[in-house]
Structure 1
Amino acid sequence: MKTAGLAGLAVAGLLAACAGAPRPPLDADAPRHGYLSDEAKADLAAGVAPRPVAGSLEDMADHAASERMRALDGGERWLLATLHAEVRPPLGQQSFDCALGVRFGAEPTPKLDALMTRVLLDANDVAERVKAANPRLRPIGEDRERRACQTIDAAARSSDSYPSGTAAVAAAYGETLSALAPDHADAVRASANQIALSRVVCAMHYPSDVTGGEAVGRVVMSRLVADPAYQADLLAAKAEIDAARARNQTSPACAAERSAYRVPLP
């Protein structure tokens, strides 16, 4: 199960994912607010480094790296990137199935879904605040004929690129799931980084957008770990994670994922 497995799953990813944030949670009953106050999020956003200066060496390196990614268009790693485009619970945590040795979706995980939704809202909101101060077109915005890895409209194609909200959410997810399954922390954080890199693979972001997004995710988590409500929800979700691991089920997509990760990034 290699490219065929990814291709089948990618259809759902292309249909479900839509660029531009914030997006409403998939579950109508999901939380609509994160853990952090507006003041806390504004403070965190103010501390994030700005985007590379247009025309700088870093900016030119970003564009060159994005151009190299065209070689992956339509291949295994690109198809995996289409799946990574959907980070909203409950689908979003399925990108961590293989790292955790579980099969999310086999049984409902409402407490984990609520926890991850609130983490997403905080990480994405801080990323959006940074974007507002750092206008930068996405690769698919600069080249409007370039294929996107998800359903996208004209407004989303023209939306800002720095920092990557998906990378911010992935990094925050990685820290949260590492706290829930510390014995799998290295694998979980590696998966979070691959989700972030997928945004470069499929031309939604430049490398520095992803690096900036991951920094946002980590700084959000540095604040959340001291939040009593977050810690209470983390404890409540632990039972669901433990139950998922105890079922000893694995995702049929893991072989395809391993194959895709072996594809070197150009």
Structure 2
Amino acid sequence: MLSPAAAPFLRHIKRCHNVTLPAGRIPLLYQGMTIGLVDPNALDWLTSGPCASLLHVTSNAITLPAGEHLRDISTALIAQERVVPFNEWFDVRTPEGTIIGQIDRALIPVFGVEASGVHMNGLVRKTDGLYLWVAHRSPHKRLDPSKLDHLVAGGMSSGLTPLETLVKEAEEEAAIPADIAQQAHHASTLHYAMTRPEGLRRDKLYCYDLTLPETFIPHANDGEVESFHLTPIQEVFQRVRESDDFKFNVNLVLLDLFLRLEMFDKQDSLLLTRALHGQTKPA
């Protein structure tokens, strides 16, 4: 059992693992493989209009005959104003990782396909200890406005690797030059499945650490971030423990960082690691 000091962190894991799949959703199949889980409320969208000829729909499954149909389906549903588009394409993959097509980001939670993203801990080592750059999201963000965030974080757009995504987002969000961003170290990979207002999130997060010099100051570069604040790691630890100020999945990446920094005792560390990586169901 977790100690009283560590138990509050468990709620962040529970929040990001709040669904047991398939959760009443309809499997989306490609060549016999499940690539997504479709919201039953979207069935009418898929059995009428242009989509009817692009998918084979039954009460038990939805079959995608060809991967290239995903773009046509996205375009059709956006034209019908079923969703508000992000105008950003994400790759859809088989369980083995083969890219079969692309979908507009807005439809990812509707179709329940796995999406990938990157999160980077921007660390600064000072004489008095370790600090973390914390971003304050813009109040105009479509998802999770005004929440606290990582120095760099973003979804992995079509055609990009995790590191390429990191370098791109670092320049766009925090004006971090590519030669510095490329020094980031891939520390871990996290998975979760959760229901949110926008639908089902099945996310894969590539987590990076980057140690920055004290002299480097990030700058909000694209309007997605309102400001950056260099914060002692212990203060970040307490804020994650005691509040929900950080964006929901940022808490998982920070918890992973705290575990790697050995900020918990041995027993708490073991139990939280198992829960974080899905080796045990959060109690």
- TM-score, reference length from structure 1: 0.26
Greater share of helix residues, 1 or 2? Answer: 1
Q: Decide which structure has the larger Cα Rg and report it.
A: 2
Higher relative contact order (CA 8 A, sep 6+): 1
